[in-house]
Amino acid sequence: IASASRVTAVIPCFPYARQDKKDKSRAPISAKLVANMLSVAGADHIITMDLHASQIQGFFDIPVDNLYAEPAVLKWVRENIPEWRTSIIVSPDAGGAKRVTAIADRLNVEFALIHKERKKANEVASMVLVGDVKDRVAILVDDMADTCGTICHAADKLMEAGASKVYAILTHGIFSGPAISRINNACFEAVVVTNTIPQEQHMKESTK
């Protein structure tokens, strides 16, 4: 209507990014629906950040730039964790292994991962730590946290395994439901998120 020659949609936290495939019969692939709606609405270019599933880029017939929080994560770790040179980067699930190995390589430190089994979304059945975190600072890195059950259970698992401190660094802090209460009661030194989602209210409520 306004006769713009090109439209670029900047979407820091892509909606329905966790619904990129069917996890049960008759479940919708909502990320594809969002992609279709953006294209039909006239977007020529999409800019987003740390897609939960990189294959979402393939849902579009227009260019998609998926930016990464890795440079900001590296900067924060080096400036705020004195023991970062002897720390260990931890993925709270096997799906994040590629992310944490890239960060660990850039910092020249080791990495570990936690294998988890889910009963259903936002409900974790069991966790198994793969890696040695004893007497080391553990830095949990993930793309998003919703109700924070996973990262809080992961922090407990790391402390049980002998970690001296636990930090959590997340790209998208959704923090729904009991998330802030769980974080406040967990053993984190700090929980760090980007501003892809406004965090002013959460910062007032959180002690971390």
> Which residues fall within 8 angstroms of residue 143, CB to CB, at 6 or more apart?
50, 51, 52, 96, 99, 170, 171, 172
Q: Check pLDDT > 70 for residue 204.
A: yes
Residue 2 placed within a domain: no
Considering the domain architecture, whether residues 142 and 188 belong to the same structural domain is answered as yes
Rounded CA separation 9/62 (Å):
11
Considering the domain architecture, whether residues 59 and 129 belong to the same structural domain is answered as no
Q: What per-residue confidence (pLDDT) applies to 127?
A: 82
Q: What per-residue confidence (pLDDT) applies to 112?
A: 96
DSSP element (H, E) containing 106 = helix 97-107
Considering the domain architecture, whether residues 128 and 166 belong to the same structural domain is answered as yes
Rounded CA separation 28/166 (Å):
36
Residue carrying structure tokens 């004195």? 82
pLDDT, one tens digit per residue, over 88-131 is 999 998 888 999 999 999 999 999 999 877 666 556 567 889 99
Considering the domain architecture, whether residues 79 and 21 belong to the same structural domain is answered as no
Considering the domain architecture, whether residues 76 and 104 belong to the same structural domain is answered as yes
Q: What per-residue confidence (pLDDT) applies to 121?
A: 59
Domain around 94: 69-205
Considering the domain architecture, whether residues 150 and 90 belong to the same structural domain is answered as yes
SS3 state at 179: helix
> What CATH number should be reported for the domain holding residue 39?
3.40.50.2020
Residue 40 placed within a domain: yes
Rounded CA separation 136/166 (Å):
9
Q: What per-residue confidence (pLDDT) applies to 115?
A: 86
Q: Check pLDDT > 60 for residue 133.
A: yes
Residue 188 placed within a domain: yes
Tokens of 70: 């890795």
Q: What per-residue confidence (pLDDT) applies to 123?
A: 62
pLDDT, one tens digit per residue, over 20-58 is 998 888 889 999 999 999 999 999 999 999 999 889 999
Considering the domain architecture, whether residues 135 and 169 belong to the same structural domain is answered as yes
Considering the domain architecture, whether residues 56 and 83 belong to the same structural domain is answered as no
Residue 1 placed within a domain: no
Q: What per-residue confidence (pLDDT) applies to 95?
A: 84
Q: Is 99 exposed, middle or buried (0-12, 13-18, 19+ CB in 10 A)?
A: buried
Residue type at 54 in one-letter notation = S
Considering the domain architecture, whether residues 35 and 86 belong to the same structural domain is answered as no
Q: Tell which of 67, 90, 117 closes a domain.
A: 67
Residue 45 placed within a domain: yes
